[in-house]
């Protein structure tokens, strides 16, 4: 009997959530409504009572956060080159310029030691990214931001359910952006949420979320800012509510599977493994960096032949054509470039078994050995 293909990720959606979605569909109210309000309330409770607004993507939350913070033309925003391209695209959307800072090769997050030298009179904000669910050091991050009077928009798209010093990500800090895309630890199929700082008017964020519209009475309508179409549907929110109730279960399971990866992985292969953090990280992804003699595309093809899915998260942003046209070039951020060329994401999701992890590790060993033998 053929062994089933093991995908890179797969959401765990229970029957109660499926029934709940059916109930929403039958209700006749399927766009933003009571389910979105309930989802926002549940997210607020998770974030220590802070104001939270739901969106149709994590990308939208970051763009709105920048706009609400007054970021625009002539400004600079510091971020990492090793992220999903949306992290930098939203900066361009506001008319500002991204300023990349190389990564710490161990954590693969932005190197906080390099931020100060990247600050200029035009710098207005920092967007740190919690790659694979491993949080950036929040104490150091906010100390740097405070010393230069910068806003922080936490790209916590991958770190929902993670923590720092015992506090859930999102329960403290400035703007915090979450994603609930289908591949995230908690999903609403597509969706995101923005946690607001205490000095931010939720009404302004709501207007940015939906065409800048503010309603009053039965027929009053006004538009005072240029908003977008970023609202979340009730169908998506109902999925998110079902997922949120299982967050602790998912996090515990992912940490257990990540531990098993470390137990089973062949250290003699020469791969760089992630930081072993089982207190703060939510283990959104388990990523290895291949040794220089193993071509990534060939490795991924070999894994597929063995029935194991893999992914690339991420090629570095500054070497895409769009960013090369802005003056970025190869060699500017060597740590990020090395990792971006060789990083591979291995399967990790809550429904996996320990035997699945063992299968992946065996497949990695076999794939690398086969490629080296044929080199």
Convert the pLDDT of each residue in 271-313 to its tens digit: 999 999 999 999 999 999 999 999 999 999 999 999 999 999 9
Within 13 A of 67's CA, how many CA atoms are on the CB side? 23
* DSSP assignments along 12-45, one per residue: ---HHHHHHHHHHHHHT--SSSHHHHHHHHHHHH
Residue 162: predicted pLDDT: 98
Known active-site residue 184: yes
Question: Alpha-carbon distance 71 to 330, whole Å?
Answer: 28
Residue 136: predicted pLDDT: 98
- Specify whether the CB–CB gap between 71 and 62 falls below 8 A: no
Residue 375: predicted pLDDT: 80
The dihedral sign for the CA sequence 78, 79, 81, 85? negative
Residue 258: predicted pLDDT: 98
pTM above 0.85, yes or no: yes
pLDDT tens digit string along 58-93? 999 999 999 999 999 999 999 999 999 999 999 999
CATH of 247-374 given 3.90.1150.10, 2.60.40.1930, 3.60.70.12, 3.40.462.40: 3.90.1150.10
Instruction: Express the helix, strand and coil content of the chain in percent, nearest 5 each.
Output: 40, 15, 45
**DSSP letter assigned to residue 4:** P
Q: Which of 184, 229, 304, 321 is catalytic?
A: 184
Q: Where are the chain's structural domains?
A: 15-244, 247-374
Q: Which residues of the chain have pLDDT under 50?
A: none
Pairing type for strands 76-79 and 97-100 reads parallel
152 backbone dihedrals φ, ψ, rounded to 5°: -120, 130
Closest to 271 in 3D by CA, of 364, 371, 161: 364
Contacts of residue 327, Cβ cutoff 8 Å, sequence gap at least 6: none
As a whole number, the mean pLDDT across the chain is 97
* CATH number for the domain whose boundaries are 15-244: 3.40.640.10
Residue 180: predicted pLDDT: 98
Residue 2: predicted pLDDT: 78
Task: Compute, in degrees rounded to 10, the torsion defined by CA atoms 48, 51, 52, 58.
Answer: -100
- Specify whether the CB–CB gap between 281 and 134 falls below 8 A: yes
Return the SS3 of 117.
helix
End-to-end CA gap in the chain: 32
Residue 303: predicted pLDDT: 98
């Amino acid at each position: 009997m053929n062994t089933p293909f093991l995908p890179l990720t797969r959401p765990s959606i229970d029957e109660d959530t499926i029934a709940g979605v059916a109930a929403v569909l039958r209700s006749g109210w399927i766009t933003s409504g009571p389910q979105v309000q309930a989802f926002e309330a549940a997210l607020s409770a998770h974030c220590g009572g802070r104001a939270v607004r739901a969106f149709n993507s994590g990308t939208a939350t970051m763009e709105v956060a920048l706009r609400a913070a007054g970021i625009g033309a002539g400004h600079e925003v510091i971020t990492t080159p090793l992220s999903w391209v949306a992290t930098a695209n939203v900066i361009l959307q506001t008319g500002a310029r991204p300023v990349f800072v190389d990564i710490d090769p161990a954590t693969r997050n932005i190197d906080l030691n390099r931020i100060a030298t990247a600050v200029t009179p035009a710098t207005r904000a920092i967007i740190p990214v919690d790659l694979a669910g491993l949080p950036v050091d929040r104490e150091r991050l906010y100390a740097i931001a405070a010393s230069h009077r910068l806003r922080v928009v936490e790209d916590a798209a991958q770190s929902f359910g993670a923590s720092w010093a015992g506090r859930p990500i999102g329960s403290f800090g400035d703007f915090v952006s979450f994603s609930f895309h289908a591949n995230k630890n908690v999903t609403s199929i597509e969706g995101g949420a923005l946690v607001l700082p205490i000095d931010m008017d939720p009404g302004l964020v709501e207007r940015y979320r939906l065409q800048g519209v503010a309603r009053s009475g039965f027929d009053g309508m006004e538009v005072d800012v240029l908003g977008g179409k970023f609202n979340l549907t009730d169908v998506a929110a109902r999925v998110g509510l079902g997922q949120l109730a299982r967050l602790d279960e998912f996090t515990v399971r992912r940490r257990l599977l990540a531990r098993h990866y470390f137990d089973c992985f062949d250290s003699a292969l020469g791969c760089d493994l992630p930081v072993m953090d089982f207190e703060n990280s939510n283990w959104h992804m388990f990523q290895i960096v291949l040794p220089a003699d193993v071509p990534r595309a060939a490795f991924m093809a070999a894994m597929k032949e063995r029935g194991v899915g893999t992914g690339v998260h991420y090629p570095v942003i500054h070497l895409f054509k769009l960013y090369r046209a802005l003056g970025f070039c190869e060699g500017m951020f060597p740590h990020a470039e090395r990792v971006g060329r060789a990083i591979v994401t291995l399967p990790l999701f809550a429904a996996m078994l320990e035997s699945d992890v063992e299968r992946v590790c065996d497949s990695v060993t076999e794939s690398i050995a086969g490629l080296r033998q044929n080199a």
